[in-house]
Amino acid sequence: MKKPTAISVSGSPFSLSFLISIFFLFFSLPAYADDGWWEGDSPVVKRANERIQLLKTEYGDISAVDFDDGSRFGPYHLQFITLEPNSLFLPVLLHSDMVFYIHTGSGRLNWFDENDLKEVDLRRGDLYRLHPGSIFYLQSSLEIEREKLRIYALFSSTDEDSFNPSLGAYSRVTDLVRGFGKEVLRKAFMAPDEVIEEIMTAKRPPLIVHAAAPTPSIRAKSSSPWEFEARLLKAFLGGDASGIEFNKKKKKKKGIYNVYEVDPDFENCNGWSLTVTKKNSHQLKGSNIGFLVVNLTAGSMMGPHWNPRAWEIGIVTSDEPGVVHVGCSSTSANSSKCKNWSFVVEKGDIFVVPSSLSGVALFCNLWTGKYWHGRLM
């Protein structure tokens, strides 16, 4: 199988795409939606430099873009998370459904499932999902190539859980813990007073930090559950990160969908494409999200496509620019007022195509590149 240059995701009424190499997200529309359900009647382009910078440190950064389609599944919060090699994204409590794609690099995802701490190794091309209420953290690998771990994460509502922008996509575990009294924490974690005092008074670290390896003395210690939890809290609340043994008592999770390990839906000398939905990935069941990967060679184009029940969000992932052409559907009630749009997109740009438009034609007549595309269904 050839290396993909574009990906598409389906789910609620939005879609993501990347040109030359583009990753698409698509989001399904609610059953009551029609051509007039969204006030916008044109595609929207967000340039890479227009993203909201949420965090920037020497060990990584987080930027974001927000969209709202007016449906019960919106709004949508898209984050771009980058970790330098051997870095940690510290524990957070997830407030919404989270579907994410590994664009580059590798690492490990750890999350709490009831009383168990589970783990799964992540690598380029993986698609995964976490549910609201999950507590998770990430660690990037220290590879010879020193490739950064880059993650595209979409936060949205589902049929069962709603995303509230006022709460944010997630909260720091440290902030949540500090909201309780010392006596409550002491009883909850069965920890000594001095440990609770250190938790309450420790300096708050940034969300992304350097991952120091555990010392031999730490590895040699056997820990009860509360001792492990205390060390976890201590490290992430400003203590020594080497005090955590990250690989202890974790269960491996199978079933990750990787876009590079399956055959494309279509392939010829001009490129290939792959669609991922809940039909071929159990991770997407109930999420209203889907993916589309599109890989185009130099001098080629992807023909027009249209999903009348989905929005599309496209993210450009290649270093080279490309051209997007968007037109109206002839079946639209407002087709007489519709226009055609053509615009150039470059690496890191994001564009949104409403379901009322006839779809997207990707032109790569002069350049090569990659594209990540998603749909809201």
Among 138, 127, 141, smallest CA distance to 92 is for 138
Total count of domains within the chain: 1
pTM for the full predicted model: 0.76
Structural domain range at position 141: 21-172+255-364
Q: What are phi and psi of 160, to 5 degrees?
A: -105, -30
Residue 59 lies in a domain: yes
The predicted pLDDT at position 226 comes to 34
Pair 376, 11: CB distance under 8 Å: yes
- Position of tokens 């940034």? 206
Residue 30 lies in a domain: yes
Residue 287 lies in a domain: yes
CATH number at residue 291: 2.60.120.10
Mean pLDDT in residue range 247-269: 75
Residue 194 lies in a domain: no
pLDDT at 93 over 90: no
How many CB atoms sit inside 10 A of residue 81's CB?
A: 22
CA 315, CA 18: separation in Å to the nearest integer? 4
pLDDT at 64 over 90: yes
Task: Tell me 19's DSSP state.
Answer: S
Burial of 180 (0-12, 13-18, 19+ CB in 10 A): middle
Where is average pLDDT lowest: 49-53, 161-165, 179-183, 280-284? 161-165
Mean pLDDT in residue range 163-187: 74
Residue 184 lies in a domain: no
Tell me the per-residue pLDDT of 190-228, one tens digit each, with 9 for 90 and over: 667 776 777 677 777 889 988 865 444 434 444 433 344
Q: Mark residue 306 as left, alpha or beta (left: phi above 0; alpha: psi -120 to 50; beta: remaining).
A: beta
One-letter-per-residue 3-state SS of 84-138: CCCEEEEEEEECCEEEEEEEECEEEEEEEECCEEEEEEEECCEEEEECCCCEEEE
Mean pLDDT in residue range 182-188: 73
Among 267, 307, 362, smallest CA distance to 9 is for 307
With b meaning 16 or more CB within 10 Å and e meaning fewer, what string describes 337-361?
ebeebeeebbbbbbbbbbbbbbbbb
CA 199, CA 51: separation in Å to the nearest integer? 34
Q: Which secondary structure element, helix H or strand E, spans residue 267, and what is its range?
A: strand 266-268
pLDDT at 116 over 50: yes
Residue 236 lies in a domain: no
Residue 279 lies in a domain: yes
- Position of tokens 């953290």? 137
Among 332, 343, 354, 322, smallest CA distance to 22 is for 322
Among 341, 340, 343, 344, smallest CA distance to 318 is for 344
Burial of 145 (0-12, 13-18, 19+ CB in 10 A): exposed
Residue 186 lies in a domain: no
